[in-house]
Structure 1
């Protein structure tokens, strides 16, 4: 493990009590991150979350040919470009050309309708889709321009009844003239196929449509099908399956030419890009060719619609986000399988590629993506295909060079580690030791450590610039983010360790990492904590109920009762337990035995419980029942609820309150002083 040597000028103070400029307000401001870049010639757009504006998502733009122009917020408050498809959302907008310049079509969070807006000519956005009888019952995501330029095509999700699983989905065409806002029948169904749909893509000649589909009880990282159909009168006909299957996950497909698809599939155990050649009748002409046969991931879990890890370019190469644990941007030569990585300092790239510039992917074109590093906050990055040069579009370096990062000296120096877990299995984790330029811990004291369990559970904790981590490490509290068995980024076998073992493998791996840090002398065994949100909240609660390793925990918007969650959560995850725990009703007893709500009497460690009151994924009633079971147990705890918050916290006030509560918990349990407001722990 990396050992940071304190400067001789540092002053010893008890771990946890170090003064730090990284306050909760700074963390909240840092959550204003960009995503979903897109382009129209030289004009580059992206979505940007704004905690200081009530958590809304704004749309921004700039031009790659005018580097001195400031970034423009195109969509002003209170407009909120965010879709609720699958509740986790996805790409909320598409760009097209209009008579007066660029036009954006976006999903408005408040009513989930699509709106058209030409920022250079329109006073305000105009609706394109009808207002449903039930608010937000029609939702739209992953918008693309239709073949004639007068429509947008997208995935539509329609909620048809009172239960979360009363849902239908289809690929639809929405006219850009606004007629469908008055005449709902003007929205044309292009394809109605599997229960879940993703990745609609038009072939370059506009004659075929491809998409990905799957059905309950499968999740998209378990088994999907790649479907292709010719178009007749604007509708898909004679649909064929060209890739995917029972034990194969196709997560993306893009057209390379009118008869060739590049699809990302894990048929070989890793999400690798494959080339599919199609015959005239829509079938597969020959076996798929793995373009880059590497034990690396070129894809990820489809939690959100619209992800693009690979993108064919006009010069024949393929831009690709790839790696193990961390990711890079590379250019793939399909003929040789060689990859040339972009020479940027970023160590993590998201699956959100796009192309811009007059070359549109050929010489002189530009690849766009969102990238970060431990010392670089997430930013929209433009990489030139002509010379490999790069620059940030969302955070121009001229600005940062002038002002500097006020928190740079307080950032942790993380290290990616592989620990040995139960049954001698590898457990991946990112370790963030305490770090301050001004203070160090007493020689005879070891620091407290908090184990972070990520959500999903099919997900991953990237090692990037994160002021939320620095909020704790700069005060003398170590953080270790565990990518427990079931995480992505390490191949399908690692991902499938959690099959049938949710609440077992994840907890064991978190405990193993915490104990390993203690054995190394890096952490104080009497001051270990665990925290997590969503599925990570489940792991944190299960660890407190089933082990004695952790002295306290922070549980955020968690799953606490598997049987109730199965029928109370949203449609996407309503059958998730089929793989995580076992088929229902055979796994009923297993669900009851593992659920923290049924093991509340085993919880003795103090905790804080944080919950959004509008959460449709992990509803607050689970927290209420868990606390009722603890009513006579005399366990110190605090329960904070937040109006207007869904799954995950977006508002500045909520982020600040949640961090204050968490730090206050650690201060009270571990016995150090802090400047955070004290949150009362009641028994």
Structure 2
């Protein structure tokens, strides 16, 4: 083995290129099972971000359900999820272009089953008794008011006779039909709550005509978040609740709610998208379930009679989209050294079979940086969490006495979380000699309701403090160069990034991906799902307009004193391009180094391979110019004004 070459941090040559990341990597999501097949979703950057449903039979044959130009993606809540349903020999899916529901029945052509119009559908279930679907519908036909969300039924025959089953709440999700078809359960919530703040679980009888009888709430409220209701095979309703401060599993039987698990762990997730699943019934008396403890996933079997848990010994640290069937469980899993994959577990033997990997790249693991989970002190005597990735490349080492630049990552949401699984977009930086700190600031999921609620009224303050203090913690440990600290983030993480750059002087550069700069504009312009989110994160608007102005970077550009690069999709409906463009113009006027990289055809999050590649390389080029290191490869320059 050759000795590592001494070279400045940031200038290391890496085999992890933008081309490799997008050409060899897909996104994986939503798993479904039938008697003879496994289904999953693939998001393909090389096809313009098209979402494809795949079917794999027991003999290993894989077939694409929705060929081009069909794109299985719903825009309900803008973030989507729950875009398809398997029912017998049919697959139903929402098509992105027109947002209609389509049916793919084996042996026949794909046909629409919903009428044309400004409607969106998600989270469908199959009502076999009445030959129909039940799902969430979002109605955008009346442009004078916000969208209307309801639960609706849709017949298979394509007649377009959509019937409203439940209405009146601001939001609906998770319709679930009992095994005998006689009862329907679902979730609702209302402004200003988000589903991780407070939801209600409802149940109603379904009559012979398919209409709902009187509905009654059985759990939840303004301070209790319910997640993933499911009927057991014998007709008991299970659900996940955070009533104790941690999302645990419960069940409702004989008109009473009883706990199935009681752990300081998270069995639930924030419902940013539909179709999430953390547990499933393998049989009448056995549940297969995943939970997160300190940011790491575990898979367990739960005996429904004794409520005893038995853990599976698996090589994964992140598990999601769990489904189960007699004798097997299928889920998407990843680890610090394994890319996300669709994995099938034989429940009797413990054997694992990888059905599809997000990437087939084979690479020497000595190019990979393995995350260290750290807990560090932050403001107010509190502690925050993060994953630290040291700079690492088997071919290079830094010069004596030099410490690497640090790139702090602030995740989106902000009620989301990061994990420690293998991500080439992180390894892209570490393999070039740039350390990464991926922060689960206060407000993140995986650490209980109290940790999550610490962001209430404090967005733009505690999240920023945690990113700042995380960087300073590594400086104090002697891990990174205090003069080359950068921060990046997308969406809500973009706001945290811009606030950290504006209101603190720790970071020397930053990158905002479709980030929020004007909170007041966001409150006025954003879509229905998040239109009252800021009431909780900041305060009611317009009553506390003073807080919105005080925390908006756009109104404090005079305090910003370092270079920033902005990346923006021009069709973004969640954070419109004007937010980035106003910030760019303000920095331009001030004479600060600034770059702006807009992308035609992109929305909130980049899905096209050419744009993902361009953003990664442009950001690296930007840091090389700002921090003064040479690049190991040729990168198409970007225009940096005032540099």
Instruction: State whether TM-score is above 0.5.
Output: yes
Within a 5 Å distance, the mapping from 1:277-676 to structure 2 comes to: 277-278=253-254, 285-286=255-256, 288-324=257-293, 325-350=295-320, 352-355=321-324, 360-361=325-326, 365-395=327-357, 405-406=362-363, 408-674=365-631, 675=633, 676=635
Displacement of 1:385:
2.2
Displacement of 1:586:
2.6
Structure-1 residue corresponding to 2:141? 160
| 2:145 is the alignment partner of 1:169 | no
Structure-2 residue corresponding to 1:86? 77
35-44 vs 499-508, which moves further = 35-44
- Give TM-score, length-normalised by structure 1: 0.91
Q: Secondary structure at the match of 1:549?
A: coil
Q: Secondary structure at the match of 1:393?
A: strand
Displacement of 1:408:
3.3
| 2:629 is the alignment partner of 1:679 | no
Displacement of 1:567:
1.4
How far apart are the structure 1 equivalents of 2:308 and 2:3? 49
Q: Would you say the 8 A contact 1:224–1:246 is kept in 2?
A: yes
Aligned residue-pair number: 638
How far apart are the structure 2 equivalents of 1:488 and 1:125? 39
How far apart are the structure 1 equivalents of 2:212 and 2:425? 47
| 2:107 is the alignment partner of 1:121 | yes
Structure-2 residue corresponding to 1:282? none
Displacement of 1:678:
2.4
- Segments of structure 2 that go 5 or more residues without pairing to the other structure are none
151-160 vs 78-87, which moves further = 151-160
Q: Would you say the 8 A contact 1:262–1:312 is kept in 2?
A: no
Q: 1:105-147, CA deviations, whole angstroms, 9 ceiling, x for partnerless residues?
A: 10000000011112x412x411111111xxxx20011111113
Structure-1 residue corresponding to 2:66? 75
How far apart are the structure 2 equivalents of 1:448 and 1:520? 14
Q: What is the RMSD computed on CA atoms of the aligned residues?
A: 1.6
| 2:181 is the alignment partner of 1:206 | yes
Q: Secondary structure at the match of 2:76?
A: coil
1:223 to 179, 186, 198: 198
Q: 1:588-628, CA deviations, whole angstroms, 9 ceiling, x for partnerless residues?
A: 10110100111112111101100001111111111122223
1:11 to 5, 10, 14: 5
Q: Would you say the 8 A contact 2:233–2:281 is kept in 1?
A: no
425-434 vs 626-635, which moves further = 626-635
Displacement of 1:48:
0.3
Distance 1:407 1:559, change over 3 A: farther
How far apart are the structure 2 equivalents of 1:189 and 1:612? 35
Displacement of 1:530:
0.2
How far apart are the structure 2 equivalents of 1:149 and 1:42? 24
How far apart are the structure 1 equivalents of 2:587 and 2:630? 28
Displacement of 1:263:
0.8
Q: 1:83-106, CA deviations, whole angstroms, 9 ceiling, x for partnerless residues?
A: 000000011111122xxxx21110
577-586 vs 517-526, which moves further = 577-586
Q: Secondary structure at the match of 2:329?
A: strand
Displacement of 1:274:
0.7
Structure-2 residue corresponding to 1:236? 212
How far apart are the structure 2 equivalents of 1:58 and 1:149? 28
Distance 1:148 1:335, change over 3 A: closer
Structure-2 residue corresponding to 1:62? 56
Q: Would you say the 8 A contact 1:96–1:149 is kept in 2?
A: no
1:143 to 121, 124, 141: 124
- Segments of structure 1 that go 5 or more residues without pairing to the other structure are 1-6, 181-185, 279-284
Q: 1:51-75, CA deviations, whole angstroms, 9 ceiling, x for partnerless residues?
A: 0001100111112x32xx3433232
Within a 5 Å distance, the mapping from 1:188-199 to structure 2 comes to: 188-199=163-174
